[in-house]
Amino acid sequence: MTETIKDKVRAFVIENFLFGDTSYDLADTASLIENDIIDSTGVLELVAFIEDQFGIVMGDADIVPANLDSLARISAFIEARVGAPATA
């Protein structure tokens, strides 16, 4: 399950923010912002992806670096939320 979520997130990030560049060495814990992989509009795309793919409703307070600023954090956030009720 965990691998599936992380794989899906990684595939989305590579396809949309690295434009399919699989040669980029993207570590699970690397900051997406600090490494200039996503910008403001990228975060909006990422949120839309998480909501559509995993059926999670993200409140404003969920859209923070602690939940979204690396592949590992995104995967952990989704994993914790899948099946759990959304918080406001």
Partner 1 sequence: MRFEQFLIGNAGRQAAKTALVTDRRRLSYGEFDDLTGRLAAALARAGVKRNDRVLVFMDNCWEAAVSIFAILKAGATFSPINASTKADKLAYIITDCEAAAILTQAKLMPIVAEAQALSGNSDLFVASTAAPNGQTPADAISFETCLAEVATPVPHRGIDVDLAMLIYTSGSTGRPKGVMMTHRNIDAASESITTYLRNEPDDIILNVLPLAFDYGLYQMLMAIRIGATLVLEKSFAFPHAIFERIREEGVTGFPLVPTMAAMILQMRDLEPGFLPSLRYLSNTAAALPPPHIARLRELFPGARLYSMYGLTECKRCTYLPPEELDRRPGSVGIAIPNTEAFVVDDEGQRAPPGVPGELVIRGPHVMQGYWRNDAATERMLRPGTNRWEKVLYTGDLFQADEEGFLYFVGRKDDIIKTRGEKVAPKEVETVLHAHPGIAEAVVVGVADPVLGHAIAALVVLSDPSLTDKDIIRHCARHLEDFMVPKIVEFRTELPKTDTGKVSRRLAAETMEPAQ
Contact footprint for partner 1 (CB under 8 A): 15, 18-21, 33-36, 38-44, 59-61, 63-65, 68, 88
Q: Closest Cα partner for 71 from 44, 45, 46, 40?
A: 46
How is the chain split among helix, strand and coil, in percent rounded to 5? Answer: 55, 0, 45
Q: In the complex with partner 1, which residue's Cβ is closer, 1 or 19?
A: 19
Cα distance between residue 67 and residue 12, in whole Å = 16
Q: Closest Cα partner for 6 from 52, 74, 60?
A: 74
Min dist. Cβ of residue 41 to partner 1 (A):
6
Q: In the complex with partner 1, which residue's Cβ is closer, 14 or 78?
A: 14
Min dist. Cβ of residue 1 to partner 1 (A):
27
Q: In the complex with partner 1, which residue's Cβ is closer, 4 or 65?
A: 65
